[in-house]
């Protein structure tokens, strides 16, 4: 006989959990997230569960979630009193049977973790995406249920199961950071909103492969700004956003990296705010950190660098329009991550050496980071300009200056040594 699947609203209701091991460690966080007042009965519990125990004087920040009280003792008859739900998850089958029997006598639903056939209730494999909760039962087979749950959740996350024109369709503009280039690195929320767009205004550095997944009726506006080439002005981009929203269309502004890291995203939000248009900002993975990581370069490393500076080098150090403290960066020992620096690397290297950086400072240059054409070269501050020229490096590329480059070299050397035949 199939079970009856039900969504329990547990806010402020007492839930008893007997047992403090790995099963409880999985179940308790979900109960707390549902707002339950959980009483955990067990002589010992895992460190993760102990960390969840509510202090005797709960802070205001915990009021919206449930509470967890730990009674450090074995189960005893009467513990099920006043409970709305019971979870028998101890390692002792006799204890679980006794808990289930007491709950049954009190007409309280009990989930028995060690024996699905003897359990009056089952916990579905569940997952949550936005406001949608998925619960799957597969005849008592938890592995199969989890596999189906994962497939459904993945479909909701990448919007392949989401109707574009649902009653909850977004309005206004979504300013979406697309990440450093690899389409797999866009956030889940960004991908969901992209799948619901009527209009997509896209940058040159945004993950263009995602556009192939859009329905044919979605209008795609190319707002590329090509260095030393064709450019759509920022003012025109701003106008696109307002024009299409006023036509009743949901607009996604798809940008590379993070929209608020040298992406002029705040300018677009300000323009929309002035015209009364709501904007949802979806952060993206900035290339300033992601691209060095993709090349194996940490921007910080214990004992090497405790700071890193992200610098827009679209104007030269001696340009009056530059607001960068190049003397300070020259004196600093931290990592420098330079964006838009390819055309001005000679002047940048000269400035850093003039203000104190050694010509022997390691430098790495990563072109087309996270994309199939990714390639990297290493040099020093004194040689990087010549080596970039000889290698034909072109934008987009990120320049990393600092001793963290040697950490990546050490990793490569260790891997090479391990790969050699003895």
> Considering all CA atoms of the chain, what is the largest pairwise distance in Å, rounded to the nearest integer?
83
In this prediction, residue 384 carries a pLDDT of 97
Q: Give residue 230's pLDDT band: very low, low, confident or very high (50, 70, 90).
A: low
In this prediction, residue 227 carries a pLDDT of 58
Q: According to DSSP H, which parts of 69-117 are helical?
A: 93-105
Mean pLDDT of 220-247: 84
d(CA 134, CA 137): 10
Q: Give residue 379's pLDDT band: very low, low, confident or very high (50, 70, 90).
A: very high
Higher per-residue pLDDT: 208 or 228:
208
DSSP H or E run through 199: strand 199-202
Mean pLDDT of 237-255: 96
In this prediction, residue 60 carries a pLDDT of 42
Mean pLDDT of 225-252: 86
Asked whether residue 8 carries a pLDDT value surpassing 60, the answer given is yes
Lowest-confidence segment of 31-45, 130-144, 257-271 by average pLDDT: 130-144
User: pLDDT per residue over 291-339, tens digit each?
Assistant: 999 999 999 999 999 999 999 999 999 999 999 999 999 999 999 999 9
User: Nearest-CA neighbor of 183 among 414, 370, 419, 379?
Assistant: 370
Asked whether residue 169 carries a pLDDT value surpassing 80, the answer given is no
91: annotated active-site residue: no
Asked whether residue 132 carries a pLDDT value surpassing 50, the answer given is yes
Asked whether residue 213 carries a pLDDT value surpassing 90, the answer given is no
Lowest-confidence segment of 2-6, 13-17, 73-77 by average pLDDT: 2-6
Please report, rounded to a whole number, the percentage of residues in the chain having pLDDT higher than 70.
Answer: 94
Collapsed DSSP state (helix, strand, coil) of residue 375 = strand
d(CA 46, CA 17): 14
Q: Which fold has domain 14-123?
A: Rossmann fold (3.40.50)
Lowest-confidence segment of 21-35, 149-163, 251-265 by average pLDDT: 149-163
In this prediction, residue 53 carries a pLDDT of 93
Q: How far is CA 144 from CA 25, 30, 151, 170, in A?
A: 21, 20, 11, 34
Distance of CA 270 to the CA centre of its chain: 25
Q: Which one of 91, 92, 154, 225 is the catalytic residue?
A: 225
Q: Give residue 247's pLDDT band: very low, low, confident or very high (50, 70, 90).
A: very high
Q: Give residue 365's pLDDT band: very low, low, confident or very high (50, 70, 90).
A: very high
Q: According to DSSP H, which parts of 15-127 are helical?
A: 22-33, 47-52, 93-105
Q: Looking at the whole model, is its pTM more than 0.75?
A: no
User: pLDDT per residue over 183-202, tens digit each?
Assistant: 999 998 898 899 899 999 99
Strand 335-339 versus strand 397-401 pairing type: antiparallel
Mean pLDDT of 258-262: 95
User: pLDDT per residue over 280-291, tens digit each?
Assistant: 999 999 999 999
Going from N- to C-terminal start, the domains of the chain cover 14-123, 124-156, 173-285, 288-412
Q: Give residue 58's pLDDT band: very low, low, confident or very high (50, 70, 90).
A: very low
Q: So what's the architecture of 288-412 in CATH?
A: 2-Layer Sandwich (3.30)
In this prediction, residue 143 carries a pLDDT of 87
Dihedral angle of Cα 207, 213, 217, 219, to the nearest 10 degrees: 0
d(CA 69, CA 48): 14
How is residue 60 annotated by DSSP?
Answer: G
d(CA 418, CA 421): 8
Handedness of CA 179, 181, 187, 189 (dihedral sign): positive
Mean pLDDT, the chain, integer: 91
Q: Which one of 37, 198, 203, 258 is the catalytic residue?
A: 203
Collapsed DSSP state (helix, strand, coil) of residue 154 = helix
Asked whether residue 269 carries a pLDDT value surpassing 70, the answer given is yes
The CATH code of the domain at 173-285 is 3.40.1010.10
Please report, rounded to a whole number, the percentage of residues in the chain having pLDDT higher than 90.
Answer: 73
225: annotated active-site residue: yes
Q: Report residue 405 as tokens.
A: 């480059």
User: Nearest-CA neighbor of 159 among 122, 132, 121?
Assistant: 132
Mean pLDDT of 91-95: 96
């Amino acid at each position: 006989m199939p079970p009856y699947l039900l969504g329990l609203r547990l806010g402020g209701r007492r839930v008893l959990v007997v047992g403090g091991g790995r099963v409880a460690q999985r179940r308790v966080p979900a109960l707390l997230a549902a707002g339950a007042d959980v009483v955990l009965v067990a002589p010992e519990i895992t460190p993760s569960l102990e960390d969840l125990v509510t202090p005797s004087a709960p802070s205001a920040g915990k009021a919206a979630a449930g509470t967890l009280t730990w009674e450090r003792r074995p189960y005893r008859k009467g513990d099920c009193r006043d409970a709305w739900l019971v979870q028998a998850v101890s390692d002792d089958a006799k204890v679980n049977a006794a808990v289930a029997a007491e709950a049954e006598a009190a007409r309280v639903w009990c989930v028995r973790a060690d024996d699905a056939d003897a359990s009056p209730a089952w916990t579905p494999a569940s997952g949550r995406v936005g406001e949608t909760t998925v619960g799957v039962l597969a005849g008592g087979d938890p592995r199969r249920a989890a596999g189906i749950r994962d497939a459904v959740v993945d479909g909701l996350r990448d919007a392949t199961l989401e109707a574009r024109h649902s009653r909850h369709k977004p309005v206004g503009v979504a300013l979406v950071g697309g990440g450093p280039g690899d389409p797999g690195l866009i956030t889940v929320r960004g991908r969901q909103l992209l799948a619901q767009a009527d209009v997509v205004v896209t940058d040159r550095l945004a993950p263009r492969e995602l556009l192939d997944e859009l329905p044919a009726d979605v209008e795609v506006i190319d707002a590329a700004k090509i260095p030393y080439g064709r450019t759509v002005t920022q003012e025109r981009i701003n106008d696109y956003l307002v024009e299409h929203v006023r036509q009743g269309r949901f607009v996604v502004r798809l940008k590379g990296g993070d929209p608020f890291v040298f992406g002029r995203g705040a300018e677009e939000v300000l323009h929309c705010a002035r015209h009364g248009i709501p904007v949802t900002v979806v952060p993206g993975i900035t290339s300033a950190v992601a691209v060095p990581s993709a090349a194996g370069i940490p921007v910080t490393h214990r004992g090497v660098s405790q700071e890193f500076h992200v610098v827009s080098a679209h104007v030269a150090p001696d340009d009056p329009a530059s607001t960068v403290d190049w003397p300070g960066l020259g004196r600093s020992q931290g990592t420098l991550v330079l964006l838009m620096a390819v055309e001005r690397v000679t002047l940048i290297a000269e400035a850093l050496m003039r203000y104190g950086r050694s010509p022997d400072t390691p430098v790495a240059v990563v072109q087309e980071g996270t994309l199939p054409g990714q390639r990297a070269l290493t040099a020093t501050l004194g040689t990087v300009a010549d080596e970039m020229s000889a290698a034909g490096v072109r934008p987009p590329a990120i320049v990393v200056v600092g001793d963290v480059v040697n950490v990546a070299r050490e990793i490569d050397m260790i891997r090479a040594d391990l790969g050699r035949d003895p």
